[in-house]
Structure 1
């Protein structure tokens, strides 16, 4: 069976609900406008479903140059956030990095705080801000937005099916927050890939993705399901970490789309 792209996902705001799409435009940042927004606490530190699992119930989608946020349980209660040039700069922290961001203002902050029950701000990474991908795995100049560490995450449908079989029930791929999903490979074939091509764009497959508690969050009600992590641990623990999916760095710009062939160019 040939390898093809079977899913493409975008996450406009880090750790809020993502959405599927038929194609992905790839820029120097990675997937266009992916995770350029981030929710932070009052001190500027990033917040995710690790601390606030209910973030998975808030949708985010671009409308032109603006971004619209809504709660999936009350979609009529939405807010449109527009950057008009009056935003204040602030430093924000994500893991070991600190970078310049723009604060989206009190209206967005108050809306998010009311939805999630804790004081929060919404910030945007402007084009002039810069965050370097870890040089242990990347080249100087490889940049990213507010994704954890790499511009792309690839997951394999067959790998999820094997995980689900061990769990005894199906698990939604979106729990793992991939940008690219592929089909046609055997389970965990992606562990052995070093370089692939999708359409006209090549990707370095640089690091297996160590998983935290986020895949345990049920996207329907934000409850945590510890058995998901136990199943992951039983199948995918290596050296004290649990892995699922592969982090990638793109080596070109352009467009990829559903149904594109995936060619393995080099193996580990």
Structure 2
């Protein structure tokens, strides 16, 4: 049986995630997931690729909004769930441009000071509909400020297989999934075309090409060659290192740790997984 073992949301893009036991599925992914992000002076998104210290920003959802704490000095700021400004701008995430709403000057100063880089925090209003890549996903699917899709799924067996090849095991947070499941074979998520969790249908649309973020230790910010060096030996295709699968969905509701994944249809493309070490 395939069973959800972990769920994560990342309210502010590229900052620390929140492990939850239950998550609400909305039109564009989990509620709160990547509805906020930092942008530079050109309104281009910022991530750990440029500012690795973003990994040290812990986020908690509280009654007043998002409580963000900078781990080195444990200083907090509250980000309201609804911005108080009426200042909007076109912001850029990779090749996409969409409308974001600025949250507030005081909060901008806080992030700029802690991260030692000039930046502003923006929110994605409900009226902003960012379409997913139409080469892979249905035309009616939208996402938030994620890299491209509403969800990323990884099997625990896949990480276990990778860790068995590494000198030092790494945690799942290096890969920033939304859904982790137990059961099945390593990289079984590669072949999931459609599956359901309760009444919600998920569709696998594209294997996830990994950027350098998994090489950043999320506690110490230490960079290394792993795990990408090892993954490149057996998870390399079309000049990309692949780990996890991006998903779109149909339906809304709640899913929870312990829920069963019911696979309805498999992809029949050739697998490139190599069992030899």
TM-score tier (shorter): over 0.9
Cα distance change, pair 124–84 in 1 and its aligned pair in 2 (3 A): closer
Structure 2 residue runs without a partner (length 5+): 268-277
SS of residue matched to 2:135: coil
8 Å contact kept, 1:87–1:105: no
Whole-Å Cα distance in 2 between the matches of residues 84 and 254 of structure 1?
A: 25
Whole-Å Cα distance in 1 between the matches of residues 232 and 146 of structure 2?
A: 23
8 Å contact kept, 2:83–2:123: no
For residues 152-194 of structure 1, the C-alpha deviation after alignment (integer angstroms, 9 at most, x for no partner) is 0000111001111111221110111100000011111111111
The match for 2:262 is 263
Deviation at 1:65, TM superposition (A): 5.7
The match for 1:115 is 114
Whole-Å Cα distance in 2 between the matches of residues 123 and 65 of structure 1?
A: 17
8 Å contact kept, 1:9–1:20: yes
The match for 1:63 is 62
8 Å contact kept, 2:83–2:102: no
8 Å contact kept, 2:83–2:101: no
SS of residue matched to 1:219: coil
For residues 124-165 of structure 1, the C-alpha deviation after alignment (integer angstroms, 9 at most, x for no partner) is 000111200111122222111100000000001110011111
The match for 2:273 is none
For residues 172-225 of structure 1, the C-alpha deviation after alignment (integer angstroms, 9 at most, x for no partner) is 101111000000111111111111111221101111000000111101111212
Bigger mean CA offset, 167-176 vs 149-158: 167-176
SS of residue matched to 1:43: coil
The match for 1:201 is 200
Deviation at 1:16, TM superposition (A): 0.4
Whole-Å Cα distance in 1 between the matches of residues 253 and 195 of structure 2?
A: 15
Whole-Å Cα distance in 2 between the matches of residues 156 and 222 of structure 1?
A: 25
TM-score, scaled to structure 2: 0.93
The match for 1:81 is 79
The match for 2:228 is 229
Whole-Å Cα distance in 1 between the matches of residues 86 and 106 of structure 2?
A: 12
Match status 1:184 vs 2:183:
yes
Deviation at 1:264, TM superposition (A): 1.0
The root-mean-square deviation of aligned C-alpha atoms, in Å, is 1.2
SS of residue matched to 1:108: helix
8 Å contact kept, 1:163–1:235: no
SS of residue matched to 1:138: coil
SS of residue matched to 1:119: coil
Count, aligned residues:
266
1:11-26 superposed matches below 5 A: 11-26=10-25
Whole-Å Cα distance in 2 between the matches of residues 65 and 144 of structure 1?
A: 25
1:86-165 superposed matches below 5 A: 86-165=85-164
Deviation at 1:84, TM superposition (A): 4.8
TM-score, scaled to structure 1: 0.96
Deviation at 1:85, TM superposition (A): 3.5
8 Å contact kept, 1:53–1:223: no
